[in-house]
């Protein structure tokens, strides 16, 4: 067992940290207020290889390991959770399934520009009536010669307002339920593809969340990813990896809030001394550090498991569950330490507190993670 990052990974952390501080952080407050999608930041991040961290270099990516990816997402999310999830979706939910399921032609056409950040991807699974119960989706793909015709609505699609390419899940055979779901790679300028309005949310305000509508959208069969009926498997295995990215995002948000609280507690004077001298504040800080360290280890463990094991659903679910709930508690304590100031938009902890909330919901709610974990525990032994 070894818990130190490699030199290359430490170097990446330093590089991304500098980029986050110099480029991402100065825009974070403004895009949170306006909801403006940070497309320029995405392109700049892509220049560092952050659009396709784990995609091989010959396919346009950075060719690094899952741990490096987690480190990068953490460092970005530490200053801007919106940018963190934008990158996480492009990497985990779009590049990763393309890398695993796309044929050579699809890789050349779709994966390479996505991994290089020339194009932005989104993942269109969730529907108004199919959230945790993804298999209940109502989007349909009807075979028409060597093409498919897609109809349906998607909701809460991160990157949706600006994406160039969407992974779309639709049923090709509703009678087969989840075994009838297929996956398609669709350029967003395809006729019949329409975006909704930008969704204003509690947090991760600049992540381009929107609805997508497909109205008799005709796509060539060559854009189908994997076999007909393999879509649900592709979606679930993709979300396993996505959970690791969201767990890393949660660790980053919490780390940002923790560092702000640690600094504030040493500056803020009450009762004639810095509030860090009071046990109440010290205990908050200790709890935050303890849970952050535990969460980061679980994230690294899940990333390590994805690299080395066939199955890593358990590790990914545990990392996601623990890290997201940790982020909720840590950002809450950070805000509490800031007192009334923490409730104002002048301080970053207010944003961190709002941003953390979604990590318990998207890419599998905490409740879904618990069911996944319990299934594993009950199956084992």
List of residues 6+ apart from 312 with CB closer than 8 A: 240, 302, 305, 306
- Kindly state whether residue 214 participates in binding another protein, applying the rule CB under 8 A: no
Token duo for residue 358: 């979604």
What one-character-per-residue DSSP string does 149-208 give? EEEEEEEEETTTTT-SEEEEEEES-GGGGGGGEEEEEEETTSTTEEEEEEPP-SS-TTS-
- Token reading at 178: 């989840």
- The answer to whether 378 contacts another protein (rule: CB under 8 A) is yes
Q: Which residues pair with 144 in a beta bridge?
A: 147
Mark whether 36 is an active-site residue. no
Judged by CB under 8 A, the residue of 298, 316, 334, 356 near another protein is 298
The stretch near another protein (CB under 8 A) out of 28-36, 161-169, 228-236, 262-270 is 262-270
Residue length of the chain: 381
What is the closest distance, in whole angstroms, from the C-beta atom of residue 303 to another protein in the complex? 7
Segment 345 to 374, residues that bind another protein, using CB under 8 A = 367, 369-371, 373-374
- Residue 63's contacts (CB-CB under 8 Å, 6 or more residues apart) are 54, 55, 56, 57
Rounded CA-CA distance 139/75 in Å is 36
Give how many residues touch another protein by CB under 8 A.
46
| Chain centroid to CA 155 | 16
Positive or negative: CA dihedral 273, 278, 281, 284: positive
Please give the angle made by the CA atoms of 211, 212 and 215, to the nearest 5 degrees.
140
Question: Does an H or E element contain 98, and which?
Answer: helix 96-101
Determine, following the binding rule CB under 8 A, whether residue 280 of this chain makes contact with another protein. Answer: no
Given candidates 104, 279, 310, 340, which one binds another protein under the rule CB under 8 A? 279
List the one residue from 126, 171, 318, 359 that touches another protein (CB under 8 A).
Answer: 318
144 contributes a contact to another protein by CB under 8 A:
no
Q: Per CB under 8 A, which of residues 43..72 are in contact with another protein?
A: 67
16 binds another protein (CB under 8 A): no
* Nearest approach, Cβ of residue 307 and another protein (Å): 9
Query: Is 291 or 350 the residue whose CB approaches another protein more closely?
Result: 291
CA distance 156 to 212: 9
Q: Are 225 and 234 in contact (CB under 8 A)?
A: yes
Q: Is 268 in the site for another protein (CB under 8 A)?
A: no
DSSP 229: T
* Least CB distance to another protein at residue 310 (A): 14
Contact 372, 314 (CB under 8 A): yes
Computed on alpha carbons and rounded to an integer, the radius of gyration of the chain in Å comes to: 21
Q: Does 286 bind another protein (CB under 8 A)?
A: yes
Which whole-number Å values give the CA distances from 218 to 142, 155, 160, 192, 229, in the listed order? 9, 20, 19, 7, 18
By CB under 8 A, name the one of 50, 305, 316, 358 that touches another protein.
305
Nearer of residues 343 and 376 to another protein, judged by Cβ? 376
- 279 vs 310, which CB is nearer to another protein? 279
7 versus 22: smaller Cβ distance to another protein = 7
Q: Does 154 bind another protein (CB under 8 A)?
A: no
| Selected range binding another protein among 150-158, 180-188, 314-322, 350-358, rule: CB under 8 A | 314-322
Residue 30 burial by CB count (10 A; 0-12/13-18/19+): exposed, middle or buried? exposed
Per DSSP, the three-state class of 152 is strand
Residue 2 binds to another protein (criterion: CB under 8 A): yes
Binding status of residue 80 toward another protein by CB under 8 A: no
Site for another protein in 215-254 (CB under 8 A): none
* Binding site residues, another protein, CB under 8 A: 1-6, 9, 67, 262, 265-266, 276, 279, 282-283, 285-287, 289-291, 293-295, 297-298, 300-301, 303-305, 308, 315, 318, 321-322, 367, 369-371, 373-374, 376-378, 381
Q: Which residues are catalytic?
A: 363
């Amino acid at each position: 067992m070894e818990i130190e990052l490699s030199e290359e990974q430490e170097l990446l952390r330093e590089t991304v940290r500098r980029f986050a501080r110099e480029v991402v952080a100065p825009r974070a407050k403004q895009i949170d207020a306006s909801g403006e999608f940070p497309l320029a930041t995405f392109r700049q991040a892509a220049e560092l290889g952050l659009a396709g961290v784990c995609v091989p270099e010959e396919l346009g990516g950075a060719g690094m390991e899952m741990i490096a990816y987690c480190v990068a997402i953490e460092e970005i999310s530490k200053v801007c959770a919106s940018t963190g999830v934008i990158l996480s979706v492009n990497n985990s939910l779009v590049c990763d399934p393309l890398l695993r399921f796309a044929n050579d032609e699809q890789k050349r056409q779709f994966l390479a520009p996505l991994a290089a950040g020339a194009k932005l991807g989104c993942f269109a699974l969730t529907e108004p009536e199919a959230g945790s119960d993804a298999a209940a989706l109502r989007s349909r793909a009807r075979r028409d010669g060597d093409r498919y015709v897609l109809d349906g609505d998607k909701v809460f699609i991160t990157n949706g307002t600006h994406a160039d390419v969407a992974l779309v899940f639709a049923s090709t055979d509703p009678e087969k339920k989840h075994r009838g779901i297929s996956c398609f790679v669709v350029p967003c300028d395809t006729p019949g593809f329409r975006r909704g309005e930008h969704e204003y949310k509690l947090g991760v305000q600049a992540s381009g969340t929107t609805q997508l509508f497909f109205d008799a959208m005709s796509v060539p069969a060559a854009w189908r990813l994997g076999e007909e009926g393999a879509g649900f498997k592709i979606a679930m295995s993709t979300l396993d990896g996505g959970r690791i990215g969201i767990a890393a995002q949660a660790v980053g948000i919490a780390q940002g809030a923790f560092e702000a609280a640690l600094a504030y507690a040493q500056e803020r004077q009450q009762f004639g001394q810095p509030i860090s001298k009071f046990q109440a504040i010290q205990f908050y800080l200790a709890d935050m550090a303890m849970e952050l360290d535990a969460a980061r280890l679980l994230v690294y463990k899940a990333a390590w498991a994805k690299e080395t094991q066939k199955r890593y659903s358990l590790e990914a679910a545990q990392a996601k569950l623990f890290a997201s709930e940790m982020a909720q508690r840590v950002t809450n304590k950070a805000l509490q330490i800031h007192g009334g100031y923490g409730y104002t938009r002048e301080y970053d902890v207010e944003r961190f507190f709002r941003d953390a909330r979604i990590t318990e919901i998207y890419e599998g709610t905490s409740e879904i993670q618990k069911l996944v974990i319990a299934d594993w525990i009950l199956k084992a032994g």
